[in-house]
Structure 1
Amino acid sequence: MKKTVSRRHFIKQAALGALGIAAAGAASGCSSTAVTAESEPLVSGLTFTPGTYTASATGKNGPVTVTMTFDETRITDVVIDASGETAGLGDTAAEKLAEMIQAAQTCSVDTVSGATVTSDAIKTAAADCMSQASGTTVVVAAPAEEKDVDEEAVEIAAAVGISAKELAASEAEACEITSFAAEYTADVVVVGAGTTGIPAALAAIEAGASVIVLQKQDMVNAQGMLAARVVKTESDPVGIAEYVHELHATYDHRGDLKQHWLYANRSQEALEWFEEKLAEAGFTNYTESDSKTHVYEDGNCHVKGILFSGSMQEPMSALVPLMEEKGVEFFFGTPAVQLIKKDNAVVGVVGKNDDGYIRFTANKGVILATGDYQNNDAMVDRYTPDASPFPRKQANKTGDGHLIGMLAGAQMEKGTHCKMVHGGGASVLREEPLLALNLNGERFMYEDIEYGDRATVLRDQPGNQMVSIFDANYSEYVYGWGSDPTVPTVANASPEKLAALVEQGVTLKADTLEELFELAGLPVDTAMASVKRYNELCAQGQDLDFGKASKYMKPVDTAPFYAQPRKFEVSALPAGLIVNENGQCLDKENAPIPGLFAAGNCSGCFYGDNDYSLSTMGLSIGRCITFGYLAGSYVAQL
């Protein structure tokens, strides 16, 4: 492997990024393609005076205030007060942007749809806080503009089923790139440093391959908290087979059974290996959580979850120094824009940074681990239209891996793609069939719908939100329904935890329904009428309006009363390029493309139903780690 330039060479100082200074580009086969440089302040170029700093900026209805806490090199906490902004929009933006700023470690994050003015004020105030803490002027970088795509690029993209809008919203480039500012070679090139890419690269280096990792952002980017595995040593063989049957049926019989069997047979191996690597890196901040034995007529299958309370960002980031010690070469701030082909084989990938185009030759294979495409609106509209109305939890997920794979001949998963749309806020009785009202104060569905399917119903409701309403008798009702009090969504409604959530303002409590609806921002008269009608149906013991099971028809009539707002957002769109059991991408004739592999949310056919199911808590992250590990191990041994 060539190694003449440190990976840090490609990470520019925050001041340059904030000013939008772009380096000279390199030649591409399309003569008139113009790309606006994506510039943003990078915390890796700043140091801070530890402490807490506060700043304000004018939002839509008045000032919004941002309070940020820093250690010497990182943003450690973000608190936003947007209480004066429009209910249901400004507060949603504040909650979302607080998460995004801390996760991305920059003030230059995406604007929350529908709350542009509030978002801009929050980002401006966050830049002020960063300036105070760093002693350097930090500004919010202008959002990256869609690149102009010329006719030749449009024709090339259209030939493989990519629209001009999809291409323009991504980093992918259709015209052949022929001139490079630098060239590097490794056995395995992994595109993406996240929940899939980190295990893939680590497994490959341990299998004896030389490894390069390209990462679009200037840091590891990983989300989620819970990873699950099938524990074969605590399961019956027939129980595992029945679990695979259940998994396939859960996803409407559309998933790839070979992938389901791989997860069932190899996830224990992969997750135990992952824990060994974390121990080697000195990371111990996780616990066992949400483990479950699936009991069938003929056998049992035990699924074990491990919880990373600080999100997957922490463990994946902790592995980077260990991987560098082992010889993995990281190129941060270097998105992949094109795959390099020789005849029918993929032999490398083109990355791009401030120095221009960089050629990365892969002797054995390229593994695409770029995550999903939720921030490419054109791709969402095409492949997952049910997700289009919902806010997106992540940033910079523009389908780059999907598109460069398609441009190299890979095919996209057929049909409507699976969406993972979760309700935010505290997990208070999240899955229990409590009375639900929309933002107009109207009852709009049978509440015994599965949690994972609620987003489909909320797609057409105001603000894509709902409010659960319950009263002082909730514990009697919930435990009477058989809910497990050890499960977090139920345990969070214990008297002690519920009181703490009320104190924090997360859960709302009032002595009268009228007061409760005012606190929740619901139209009081409409909401009162909805509860009156619901209580009448409960007295009859039959839901004549929506058909909810009679056992769940419990009145809301005993003070104190509670309201739990639930805002639904896209967490992931776990679908992508069609792969075989080795993770190798398939072309339109279903033949493997030599040298091209995909894993995690960039790959397809593991799920298939309209919605991601919570029947296996932590399946998404467990799948990403498992298939990243398997792909890295496999490609390294070619």
Structure 2
Amino acid sequence: MMEAIENGISRRGFLGLGAVATAVAGMGLAGCAPQTTAESSKADASGENDAASGIPSWLGEEPVIDESEIGETVETGVLIVGAGNAGMACAASCSDLGLDFMVCEKNGAVEAARGFIGLVNTHCTRDAGVEVDEMKLLNEISRYASFKNNQAVAKTWIRESAEVLDWLDGIMEPLGLKATLCTHEHLGDGGTDYYIPCISHVYVANPDVAPGSDLEAAGSIDFPVDWSRNAHLEEYIKEAGHEVSFGCRLVKIEREENGRVTGAIFETDSGYKRVNASLGVALCTGGYAANPAMVRALNPILTQCITGNAYTPSTTGDGIKAGIWAGGVLESEPAPMIFNRGMVMPGVNAGYTDDSETATFNGTIGQNGIGSQPFMKVSRRGKRFANESTPYDDVCFAATNQEGGVWCMVFDANAPADVKRFATIGCSTGGMWMVNFDSVDEWIEGISSMMAADVEPIMRADTLDELADKLGFAGEDKENFLAECEHYNEMFDAQKDDEFGKEAYRLSELRTPPFYGAWFGGSLLTTLQGLRIDEDMRVLDANRKPIEGLFAAGDCSGSMFSGNYPELLVASACGRTVTFGRHIARYLAGDLD
């Protein structure tokens, strides 16, 4: 009846492609039970509706499965839907706590793990001589969200994530993997003050690694990052007698009339399968980045600034839709995770390839980590349009005010030294790979085999005039570009950005040939607009009451982010995902204080 993806989903790495997305702006969307006039108005605000039902077209009607079509019924305690970062953390925790559980995954393998995990005041933090101000962190993440998040939910991550590392150590260290904290100087980005705590942890294949590793080490080609946490957790539960049921696509959640959730129905190659869950259902299905209908409806700005398909192809919003049908509520505002690395050739616009439901974004090259470095960036008019030293998504959103939603980034032969001085954080340290090469040309040669294209998107020239031609600037636009380069050099000499206030240490020269340039748009990794939850990951209904037996963790859950992903709180998304997956198991086992 369905075709499962047989291969594991590749990690979001230094370079990457993905596959699709969609969405709607407006009021919180409640589950499509009988609606009051007010509730109907909210649904109408959420996108293009079916004229007869008033239900958004991306959501549709809840499927009706006849009893005669159900070929198998399985009983379990905890039903975990999705074998990704949240689902596998939940599964391994259930195993440790002695809970009866079942993991259902629509693909043919567990999702590859996100290597970096944001955790607060762990043993690594302490041993590295670092301390995170937890209340300042709570208010910083809420400031990013304009306080539209639920601070109680954020506090669960802040207060429980250190225990998560202790727990993971017991699984990872016997495999020769040890955790380290990515350390950095507490510098303000963006010409203003941000709180940038050291919270990003990673397991590496080096049992002698120090509790803290600096940025240059973390950005090194030789840093042995482990990207297989979910596969390790799968082996861990196998050793305890459990396994993941692959090829199971979620169709709907089953719930007693206005009562508790009792389980779910899945579509498999053999037909429909019902799984009854006596303790609860944990939705860990990811976001909706690979569903163009949802992206267009819920997150329309993405069609104006995204070129790169860096999302997991199977994140089509299945769990979100099933949760809404069961009475849950979608967060009212989008929160996309966008990186400024969607490299494209000159002339390529941001947006989808077409209007179909299988469209992808226009970029075919993939991500290039150098795009997150704060070099000079200009529009097609040849002019700077924003501060380049800000969280990744800022320049992407700013580019929606420019033609094509794209920008050009330029640098010279001194780029490796510039990158080292910039000392960016998080996965933008992928750009630090450049410092491992003797020249920019050697770096380009070194990464060429990783580029998902037969083209050469990074232009090289001996003069800025020649570079302008190769980048597609002509006429007045070329004059603007050359004038901007000259003024940028003047600002470097003065160590002051008089246009947009970028920090002096993140200015650079454009004087030493050869000169380089490339075009970029945003690269979509995931969406963080999910079902509203409380501090115990219980899905909430339209009255803000928990739906008994229904939980959500990871990108199909909401209440943590709003409007953006706070990229300077490095790896906070994956950190809360793993923490919340584990929390569900501990909550159901009565293991929490």
Task: Quickly name the TM-score band, shorter chain normalised.
Answer: 0.7 to 0.9
CA shift at 1:570, angstroms? 0.8
Counterpart amino acid of residue 562 in structure 1? Y
Equivalent of 2:341, from 423, 426, 438? 423
CA shift at 1:271, angstroms? 2.5
The question of whether the paired residues in 2 share the 8 Å contact of 1:447 and 1:548 is answered with no
The question of whether the paired residues in 2 share the 8 Å contact of 1:195 and 1:312 is answered with no
CA shift at 1:327, angstroms? 3.1
Do the aligned partners of residues 321 and 474 (structure 1) sit closer, same or farther apart at CA in structure 2, a change above 3 Å counting? closer
Mapping of residues 79-228 of structure 1, within 5 Å: 99=17, 161=43, 163=49, 173-175=62-64, 177-179=66-68, 180-222=70-112, 224-228=114-118
Q: Partner of 1:396 in structure 2? A: 314
Do the aligned partners of residues 176 and 429 (structure 1) sit closer, same or farther apart at CA in structure 2, a change above 3 Å counting? closer
Q: Partner of 2:231 in structure 1? A: 317
Do the aligned partners of residues 486 and 460 (structure 1) sit closer, same or farther apart at CA in structure 2, a change above 3 Å counting? closer
Q: Partner of 2:354 in structure 1? A: none
The question of whether the paired residues in 2 share the 8 Å contact of 1:186 and 1:211 is answered with yes
The question of whether the paired residues in 2 share the 8 Å contact of 1:190 and 1:369 is answered with yes
Q: Partner of 1:593 in structure 2? A: 547
Distance 1:369 1:169 in 2: 20
Secondary structure of 2:85's aligned partner: coil
Q: Partner of 2:6 in structure 1? A: 42
Q: Partner of 1:303 in structure 2? A: 199
The question of whether the paired residues in 2 share the 8 Å contact of 1:190 and 1:214 is answered with yes
Q: Does 1:459 align with 2:348?
A: no
Could you tell which deviates more after superposition, 322-331 or 598-607?
A: 322-331
Distance 1:583 1:230 in 2: 19
Mapping of residues 316-465 of structure 1, within 5 Å: 316-343=230-257, 344-389=259-304, 390=306, 391-393=308-310, 394-424=312-342, 425-428=367-370, 430-432=372-374, 434-438=375-379, 441=382, 443-459=384-400, 461=402, 464-465=405-406
Gaps of 5+ in 1: 1-21, 23-37, 44-73, 78-94, 101-109, 114-152
User: TM-score scaled to structure 2, two decimals?
Assistant: 0.72
Q: Partner of 2:216 in structure 1? A: none
The question of whether the paired residues in 1 share the 8 Å contact of 2:340 and 2:372 is answered with no
Do the aligned partners of residues 479 and 375 (structure 1) sit closer, same or farther apart at CA in structure 2, a change above 3 Å counting? closer
Distance 2:488 2:9 in 1: 50
Q: Does 1:534 align with 2:476?
A: no
Residue-by-residue CA offset, 1:164-191 (whole Å, 9 max, x unaligned): 5998768984335433100001110000
Counterpart amino acid of residue 143 in structure 2? A
Equivalent of 2:180, from 281, 288, 313? 288
Q: Partner of 2:557 in structure 1? A: 603
Q: Partner of 2:440 in structure 1? A: 498
Residue-by-residue CA offset, 1:412-436 (whole Å, 9 max, x unaligned): 112333443442444337242x221
Distance 1:238 1:446 in 2: 27
Distance 1:290 1:263 in 2: 19
CA shift at 1:279, angstroms? 3.8
Counterpart amino acid of residue 367 in structure 1? A
Could you tell which deviates more after superposition, 171-180 or 580-589?
A: 171-180
Distance 1:381 1:446 in 2: 27
The question of whether the paired residues in 2 share the 8 Å contact of 1:220 and 1:313 is answered with no
Secondary structure of 2:551's aligned partner: strand
User: TM-score scaled to structure 1, two decimals?
Assistant: 0.68
Do the aligned partners of residues 227 and 594 (structure 1) sit closer, same or farther apart at CA in structure 2, a change above 3 Å counting? same
Equivalent of 1:260, from 130, 154, 167? 154
Q: Partner of 2:587 in structure 1? A: 634
Counterpart amino acid of residue 295 in structure 2? V
CA shift at 1:398, angstroms? 1.3
CA shift at 1:330, angstroms? 2.2
CA shift at 1:500, angstroms? 2.8
Distance 1:199 1:516 in 2: 49
Residue-by-residue CA offset, 1:293-318 (whole Å, 9 max, x unaligned): 76999x99652421678988622123
CA shift at 1:632, angstroms? 1.9
Distance 2:500 2:572 in 1: 31
Equivalent of 2:473, from 523, 537, 548? 523
Q: Partner of 1:229 in structure 2? A: 119
Q: Does 1:559 align with 2:513?
A: yes
Counterpart amino acid of residue 385 in structure 1? P
The question of whether the paired residues in 1 share the 8 Å contact of 2:339 and 2:372 is answered with no
Could you tell which deviates more after superposition, 594-603 or 487-496?
A: 487-496
The question of whether the paired residues in 2 share the 8 Å contact of 1:172 and 1:400 is answered with no
Distance 2:274 2:407 in 1: 49
Do the aligned partners of residues 260 and 172 (structure 1) sit closer, same or farther apart at CA in structure 2, a change above 3 Å counting? same
Residue-by-residue CA offset, 1:480-512 (whole Å, 9 max, x unaligned): 778689982563343636343232465544322
Q: Partner of 2:453 in structure 1? A: none
The question of whether the paired residues in 1 share the 8 Å contact of 2:336 and 2:524 is answered with no
CA shift at 1:539, angstroms? 6.8
CA shift at 1:627, angstroms? 0.9
Distance 1:486 1:191 in 2: 28
Structure number, greater radius of gyration: 1
Do the aligned partners of residues 194 and 172 (structure 1) sit closer, same or farther apart at CA in structure 2, a change above 3 Å counting? farther
CA shift at 1:345, angstroms? 0.6
Distance 1:277 1:539 in 2: 52
CA shift at 1:339, angstroms? 0.8
Counterpart amino acid of residue 503 in structure 1? E
CA shift at 1:538, angstroms? 4.1
Distance 1:504 1:300 in 2: 31
Distance 1:444 1:238 in 2: 34
What is the total number of aligned residue pairs between the two structures?
A: 499
Do the aligned partners of residues 155 and 279 (structure 1) sit closer, same or farther apart at CA in structure 2, a change above 3 Å counting? same
Choose between structure 1 and 2 for higher RCO, CA contacts under 8 A separated by at least 6 residues: 2
Q: Partner of 1:622 in structure 2? A: 575
The question of whether the paired residues in 1 share the 8 Å contact of 2:20 and 2:290 is answered with no
Distance 1:592 1:191 in 2: 19
Could you tell which deviates more after superposition, 316-325 or 392-401?
A: 316-325
Counterpart amino acid of residue 397 in structure 2? T
Gaps of 5+ in 2: 23-30, 205-222, 343-366, 449-457
Q: Partner of 1:61 in structure 2? A: none
Secondary structure of 1:406's aligned partner: helix
